[in-house]
Structure 1
Amino acid sequence: MTNAMQAKRRAFKDHAATHFRFETDADGRVATLTLNRPDKKNPLTFDSYQELTDLFRDLAHASDVRVVVLTGEGGNFCSGGDVFEIIEPLTRMAMPDLIAFTRMTGDLVRQIRSCPQPVIAAVDGVCAGAGAILAMASDYRLATPEAKTAFLFTRVGLAGADMGACGILPRIIGQGRAAELLFTGRAMTAQEGHAWGFYNGLHAQADLLGTAQDFARKLADGPWFAHAMTKKMLDQEWSMGIDEMIESEAQAQAICMATGDFRRAFEAFAAKEKPRFEGN
C-alpha cells in the first residue's frame, strides 16, 4: 500500500503551465503561480479557469510543493473574467452551458480550499470579480497599499453569490461588511481590507512578492504535514458544532502525534537543536 500511494506522487518542480506562469524555488517546496496577462490586468479565460482548477487538484499528489504563492504580473492581481473571452460569450449561452460554467468556476475555489498546500495571495492593484474570489479562497493574503478589491458581480446584473462569496467572505470580514461589498460591488481599499482582517498585512510594491515568498518558505520548512492538517480543519470545521469540532481536532492531533515529525521535534528540543520536518 505504501509503495502504491507513493507511486501517485510526483514532482512539480518542472511543471509547465500554458495559461499562466508556474515556477518553484530550487528544491520545489515553494511554488509561485503568476497570472501573466498584464496588458489586460491579468483576466481569466475559460482555458485558464480550467487549467488552474486542474493544477490545484493535482497538487494533492505533489511530492515537492508545500506552499503556493498566487500573484499577478504588471502591478495588478486579476481583473476577473475576460470581458470578451468570457463575459460576452456567456450572454449567448443556454442554461445548460451556463450552469456548467458556473460549476466549473466554483470548482476552482473548491480545489484551492481542498489542496493540502497553504495558498498565499500576494495582491497588488486591481483585484476584482473572480480575482477577488481567488484572493478570498486563499489561506493567507498580503497586499500593497494600492490594492483595490471588488466583488463587483452586481455591477453586471449578477448576484453577489458567486463562487462561494456569500459563504466565505462573511467568515473573513463579518456579515455586515460582506453584505455591503456584495450588494454594492464597491472596491474595498487595502486599508479597509487590512483593518477588517481580509489582508494579513500591507507591504510596498517592491517588497510584496518577496515577503510572500519568505513567509511561504517558513511554512514550507516547517511541519508541513501538520500545516496541511491545520488547513483541513480550518476548512471543514465551518459546518461543525462544537462537539464535532473538538472531536475532529482530537483525531487530527493524534494523527500528527503519530508522525516522525512530532518525535523528531521533541528530540531536537531535548538536544537544543533545530527540528527537522519530513512530513512523515
Structure 2
Amino acid sequence: MTAPREPFFPAHKSIRADTQQLEIRHLGRMDYQEAWDYQADLAKKRAAGETGDAILVVEHPNVYTAGKRTLPEDRPTNGLPVIDVDRGGRITWHGEGQLVVYPIIKLAEPVDVVDYVRRLEEAIIHTVRQLGVTTAGRIDGRSGVWVPGATIPLDPAAPDRDRKIAALGIRITRGVTMHGLALNCNNTLEYYSHIVACGIDDADVTTLSLELGRDVSLAEAAAPLLEALADALEGRLTVTNHTFASAPDPTKLANEKRRKARGFHNNA
C-alpha cells in the first residue's frame, strides 16, 4: 500500500531512536502467550531505557491470534482456541514452519507508523525476491507481502488469485514497537481454511516452499530477512513502490460492519 503522505524521515535515514547495533534473540519454538509476555516485558524495559533495541526470532506451536479488528465471522470453525491480542488487524494463524519476527524497537520522534510498516514490508519483499519469488510486492489497501495471481507451479489447478506470503500486525506504545511479521516458509496451509485470514476472503495464502517448488526452512529465510530488516530500519534499504494491485482494506470493512451493527442495535 502506498503511503498517503511523504514519510517524516527521508528514505535514507534511520527511523530508530538508537544508533547501537540491533540485538538478535533467537528464541526457538515458544508458546505464543509466553512470547507475548516476553515481548511486553522487554518493550516496557525498552521504553524506560533499561535495554536496547532487539529483534526476537521465534516459531510458535499452532495457534490462532485475533487482533483488535477481528469480527465474529472471522474466527475458526475447527474448535481450536484463539488468543485475543492487542495488535492491529484481524485474525491469523501462527505455527510450525512459519518464521515469526518481533522487533522491539524505540522509534525516533515523530513516530511514523506508516513508514515503519512500509519498511518492514520492504525488508520482506527484498528477502522473498532474493530467495526466488521475484514477483512479490504490495497490494494497495492491504498490509503484508503478496504474490500476484498466477498458477502455482506445484498445483496447476490452483485458483488464479493473489496470495499472501507474509502478514504484519503491530502495536506501538510509548514509541516502542511490539508484535511484527510472520513469513510462511514451509508450513501447512490447512489451518487457514478454518478462518477468514486477516479478514480477507477474496485472496489466498502461500508459502516460500510452495512458490519455489522446494523446501525452504526457517533458517534459510531468517538470515537474509534479519539483514534486510536492519537495513530497512536504518535507511540502507529504501522503500520502493512494489505495488501491483489494489483491493479493499479489511480493517475499514470491519469498522463499517461494526458501525452498521451498532446502528441496527440502536434502532431495534
Structure having the higher helix fraction is 1
Question: Which one has the bigger strand percentage?
Answer: 2
Do Structure 1 and Structure 2 share a fold, with TM-score over 0.5? no
TM-score band, normalised by shorter chain: 0.3 to 0.5
Q: TM-score, normalised by structure 2?
A: 0.33
**What TM-score results when the alignment is normalised by the length of structure 1?**
0.32
Report 1 or 2 for greater relative contact order, CA contacts < 8 Å, sequence distance ≥ 6: 2
Asked which structure has the greater CA Rg, the reply is 1
